[in-house]
Amino acid sequence: MSYDFSTSAPREDTNAEKYMLREELFGTNDVLPVWVADMDINTPDFVLNAVKKRLEHPVFGYEEVPKSAFEAQMAWMKKEHSVEFALEDMLYSHSVVASMNVAIEAFSSVGDKVIVQTPVYPPFFHSVMEHERELLKNPLKLKDDGTYTFDIEDLKSKIDEKTKLLLLCSPHNPVGRVWRREELEQILELCLEHNIVVFSDEIHSDLVYAPNVHIPFASLSQEARDITVTAIGGAKTFNMAGFAISSVAIPNKTLRERFLKIYKRIHFANGSTLSHVAFETAYREGKIWLEELKVHLLKNYCMLKELSEKFPHLIKLTPIEGTYLAWFDCRGLGLRDKELREFFVHKAGLGLSPGISFGREGSRYMRLNFAVSSAKMLQVIEKLQKALQEHRN
């Protein structure tokens, strides 16, 4: 079977966040939005067909998440990522960020320290501060080749008895790293030594490009399983964030009970009937679609890379291993953060995520979501090339 990613349905007249918030975020509706991490690519037809079939039944009352839905995800994780979870490990969540907030409440107290590795998806540090925990920033180390790695020595120097939780982004948003086993094992060693729980956000785990391989943190060892809360789901993989369904896997019974104490207090319930159908169908039928999607995404990335190589003194594209988020080093443009944002909005007509929103280490960088149709990607390239040419001239 061959899927067509050349065009996608228009979203301007829907309630799509990336379109609805253009005026508020960019001061104009006249921008092509390539910021929030969902795709301008149609949700797979097999998911939509399964939802349509369920709509034939006229009753939509309260429903439990069916065991078969979790079993489909568990089978996927075992086959695709070589990690096994049991049914009792699995909990429904409407989002990874919600799960993260529960973890912060469950595994730390007011005044405790929580590790985040910046630049990183903004809810990582916002959530810590909103819960009145102390933000322990362990910035990623920028290497000479433009890629990033963990700064283990910095982390060793900062951990103390008040450090209770590490929020791991794997694969990493926004820098596109897929962490190697030896990198993760260094983190594991420190967390075991200091009795630190790891909340591992692995929502982008399926969006990894060969030869890179995603390694779930919980798969490193039995000791890793016992300290890890894994957040996973198909929202990014199958472009179905609007179904508001993900899951949390917690193999260790003691950690699971601590998590459930907060989880039940909030009353997460079980999500919607249609989200259960979409979730299970995606994991059961999505393999071929995903493989073809990744070929398409890599083509889009290569177009951005080719463009950046035409303007090497102005922008540099961080090498990518996973996600569909391009991380641009824009320091060569000679613009401050506010000016950089204005450049992309008013000169290029593009709405990107400003790097500074991912932490101070993202200053003068920009994040561009390249999960768009071929037609839209051509528009992005044309707009960006014109703006860079004018700036150079």
Mean pLDDT, range 377-386, rounded to an integer: 98
For residues 202 and 215, give the distance between their C-alpha atoms in angstroms, rounded to a whole number. Answer: 10
Rounded-to-integer distance, Cα 331 and Cα 335, Å: 7
Is 339 a residue whose pLDDT tops 80? Answer: yes
Can you tell me the mean pLDDT for 59-65? Answer: 96
Give the model's pLDDT for residue 1. 66
Residue of 129, 217, 133, 220 lying closest to 172 (CA atoms): 217
Q: How confident is the model at residue 347 (pLDDT cuts 50, 70, 90)?
A: very high
* Cα–Cα distance for residue pair 373/195, rounded to 1 Å: 45
Whether the CB-CB separation of 298 and 75 falls below 8 Å is answered with no
Beta pairing class for 134-137 and 141-142? unpaired
CA-to-CA distance for 383 and 375, rounded, in angstroms? 13
Calculate the average pLDDT of the chain. Answer: 97
Buried b / exposed e along 6-37 (16+ C-beta atoms within 10 A):
eebeeeeeeebbbbeebeebbeeeebbbbbeb
Query: What was the pLDDT predicted at 332?
Result: 98
Is the confidence at residue 116, as pLDDT, over 80?
Answer: yes
Cβ–Cβ under 8 Å, residues 304 and 330: no
Does position 68 have pLDDT exceeding 70, yes or no? Answer: yes
Q: What percent of the chain has pLDDT over 70?
A: 100
The pLDDT of 353-370, averaged and rounded, is: 98
pLDDT at 277 over 80: yes
Among 94, 351, 46, 355, CA closest to 203: 94
Q: Is residue 343 over pLDDT 70? A: yes
Assign 3-state DSSP to the chain and report helix, strand, coil percentages, each to 5. 45, 15, 40
Integer Cα distance of 8 and 267 in angstroms:
36
Domains and CATH numbers, the chain: 17-43+287-392 (3.90.1150.10), 50-285 (3.40.640.10)
Residue that is written with structure tokens 């070589």 in the block: 82
What is the pLDDT averaged over residues 76-95?
98
Taking only the tens place, the pLDDT of each residue in 16-58 is 999 999 999 999 999 999 999 999 999 999 999 999 999 999 9
Buried/exposed code over 125-144 (b: 16+ C-beta within 10 A; e: otherwise): bebbeeeebebbbbbbebee
Residues 169-183: pLDDT tens digits?
999 999 999 999 999
Asked if residue 348 has pLDDT above 80, the reply is yes
Q: What pLDDT was estimated at residue 289?
A: 98
Residue 372 contacts residue 41 (beta carbons within 8 Å): yes
Q: Identify the pLDDT of residue 100.
A: 98
Query: What pLDDT, on a 0 to 100 scale, did the predictor assign at position 144?
Result: 95
Q: What is the pTM of this model?
A: 0.97
User: 259 falls in which pLDDT band (50, 70, 90)?
Assistant: very high
